Amino acid sequence: MARIELVLGDITEQHVDVVVNAANSSLLGGGGVDGAIHRKGGPDILAECRKLRAGHYGRGLRTGQAVATTAGRLPAKWVVHTVGPVWSPTEDHSGLLADCYRNSLRAAADLGARTIAFPAISTGVYRWPIASAARVALTTVAEVSSDLPTIATVHFVLFDRAAYDAFRAATAP
Ligand code: APR
């Protein structure tokens, strides 16, 4: 099983093989992590996203799916874009949030990546409560990474202390 590390910081500054982007279905950029990755990573990332939209992903990326592009100028080899579910107080979308982590890990393993950095998917614009998102993230990564022996380390990169503490609490035995 992969080693799991919590990092308080900016995901665009992580020196890993794969950086995971909390994208939207258009794959054409946005705010939050998406905006930071495109801003720091440069135009090559968007150019590859546009090619994906012109090809296999003509209708965009579905929630829970994951697809890789170059990482451009980021200190990483690839960006894996995934679309998180929007929080709903009435419907349980936990399975779709788990799919984001599961499919991103699988995409990273297919690329031969050994290290991967995740943001707290869906916990910003998509309003998913951080404690619940942390539980889904950590449970899914522990489960899936045991079947992906080439993935050595998974970093959860939290942008603020509250998110970091929530993930820390979720790892507590
Ligand atoms: N590094 C690490 N984490 C970050 C960074 C960063 N540079 N910037 C923001 N975050 C954190 C946020 O604080 C939040 O905890 O990432 C988490 C996810 O927030 P969003 O980026 O808003 O992603 P999400 O909630 O999944 O919403 C996706 O927002 O930016 C748009 O195009 C994106 O439409 C999509 C939607």
Domain that holds residue 28: 3-171
For residues 41 and 23, what is the distance between their CA atoms, to the nearest angstrom?
14
Q: What is the pLDDT of residues 40-94, one digit of tens each?
A: 999 999 999 999 999 999 999 999 999 999 999 999 999 999 999 999 999 999 9
Strands 76-83 and 66-70: antiparallel
Environment class of 112 (CB within 10 Å of its CB; exposed 0-12, middle 13-18, buried 19+): exposed
Whether 36 is in the pocket of ligand 1, judged by its Cβ within 6 Å, is yes
Whether 80 is in the pocket of ligand 1, judged by its Cβ within 6 Å, is no
CATH number at residue 123: 3.40.220.10
Which residue CA neighbors atom 24 of ligand 1 most closely? Answer: 122
Q: How many CB atoms lie within 10 A of CB 28?
A: 14
**Do residues 54 and 47 make contact, with C-beta atoms less than 8 angstroms apart?**
no
Most ligand 1 atoms within 8 A of CB, residue of 33, 63, 104, 155 to mutate: 33
Instruction: Classify residue 13 by its DSSP letter.
Output: G
pTM for the whole structure = 0.98
* Total domain count, the chain: 1
